[in-house]
Amino acid sequence: MSGSLPSRQAWRELYDVAVDFKKMACWTWMWESDVFGVQDPESSEVGYCCIMGRAGEHFALSVYLGTEGLGGYQRMRCHGDSLSPFAALLLQRCLMASFEDRRHVTKRDYAVIKALGLKFRGRNSWPLFRSYLPGYVPWYLTGEEAERLTVALRQTVEVALRFKDDPGLLTPPSKNRYLVRVPAKEGPAILWRDEWADPVPVEKKAIHAEPLDVNRVRGIRRMSLQLRGTWEVDAFYLPQAVQEKEGRPYFPHAILAVDRRSNAILEFRLAKPEDFASELREAILEIMEHVEIMPRLVLVKQEEVFKLLEPIASQLKIKLRRAKRLRALEDAQEFLVAFSEDERFL
Could you write out the DSSP letters of every residue in 86-131?
Answer: HHHHHT--EEEEEEE-GGG--HHHHHHHHHTT----STT-EEEEEE
Same domain, 300 and 252: yes
Nearest to 2 by CA among 109, 130, 140, 118: 140
- Residue 207 domain-assigned (yes or no): no
8-state DSSP, 201: P
pTM, full prediction: 0.89
Domain residue limits at 317: 214-345
Alpha-carbon distance 137 to 141, whole Å? 12
167 phi and psi, to 5 degrees?
A: -60, -15
Tell me, yes or no, whether 205 lies in a domain.
no
- Residue 27: exposure state from Cβ atoms within 10 A (0-12, 13-18, ≥19): buried
Determine, yes or no, domain membership for 14. Answer: yes
Indicate if 171 and 228 belong to the same structural domain. no
Q: Which CATH number goes with the domain that contains 301? A: 3.30.420.10
Residue 49 within a domain: yes
Tell whether 208 is covered by a domain: no
Looking at the structure, do residues 29 and 155 belong to the same domain, yes or no? Answer: yes
One-letter amino acid at 48 equals Y
Helix, coil or strand: residue 146: helix
| Residues 267 and 301 both lie in one domain | yes
309 closest CA partner among 270, 264, 257, 274? 257
Question: What does the pLDDT read at residue 342?
Answer: 53
| C-alpha gyration radius of the chain | 24
Assess if residue 206 is contained within a domain: no
In sequence order, what DSSP letters do the residues of 10-21 get, joined into one string?
HHHHHHHHHHHH
Are 235 and 252 contacting, i.e. CB atoms less than 8 angstroms apart?
no
146, 168, 197 — which closes off a domain? 197
Whether 171 and 218 map to the same domain: the answer is no
Same domain, 89 and 219: no
Looking at residue 247, its pLDDT comes to 83
Shared domain check, 245 and 323:
yes
- Based on the fold, state whether residues 66 and 107 are members of the same structural domain: yes
Positions in the chain whose pLDDT score sits under 70: 1-2, 206, 340-346
Task: Looking at the structure, tell me whether residues 22 and 49 fall in a common domain.
Answer: yes
pLDDT tens digits for range 24-79: 999 999 999 999 999 999 999 999 999 999 999 999 999 999 999 999 999 999 88
- Count up the domains in the chain and report the number: 2
CA 253 – CA 235 distance, rounded (Å): 6
| 184 and 271 share one domain | no
DSSP character for 136? Answer: B
